[in-house]
Structure 1
C-alpha cells in the first residue's frame, strides 16, 4: 500500500469558515477574513483564508457565486474584484448557534 502525499483534505480552519458561511449565506474573501478573526479570536493570514477558499472550491465545500467589479478610490487603484463565495454541496456545517450570536454582535 502506498500513502497519499500532500496535505490532508480535512482542515479546522476550512471547517470554521464553513460554519461562518452557513450563517452569512455568502461573502467575499476579505469579509470572511475580518469576521473569522473576530468570531474565533484568532490571528490568521489573508493568504491562509484565500488558500482554504480555493481548496474548498476544489473539494466542493465552497462555490463561486459571482465576481463583482467594485469601483472606488482605493490606494492600489480605481477598482477591485470581489469574488463571492457560498457553501457547496460537500459542505458540512455544524450549525453552532454560538457562532450566529457572535456574528450578530460584530
Structure 2
C-alpha cells in the first residue's frame, strides 16, 4: 500500500508575520517563516517573534495571498489630490486645547 509522502519543511508555504507590541498600536511586519498550516504559523510566530513578551497580538498571512500595488504606478496611485481641497483640513478651526494636531 502506497502512502503519500510526508510534507517536508522545505515544502511548507511561506507566511508573513505581523506583531502588535501592545494594544492600541499598529501591527508591524516582523519577518517570515515556513509552516504547514495557519495554526503552526501562529505558534512558530509566537515562539520566534515574541519570546520576550513584546507582543500582544500576532497575525500570519500566507505570502502568496498578499497583493501589492505596482511600483510603476506610483505616480498615479499616490499623487496628492491637489484639486480636491476639501480633503485638506485647512478649513477647520481647532480649539487651542488640541495643540498636538
- Establish whether TM, by shorter chain, passes 0.5: no
TM-score normalized by the length of structure 2: 0.25
TM-score normalized by the length of structure 1: 0.24
The structure in which a higher percent of residues are strand is 1
Higher relative contact order (CA 8 A, sep 6+): 1
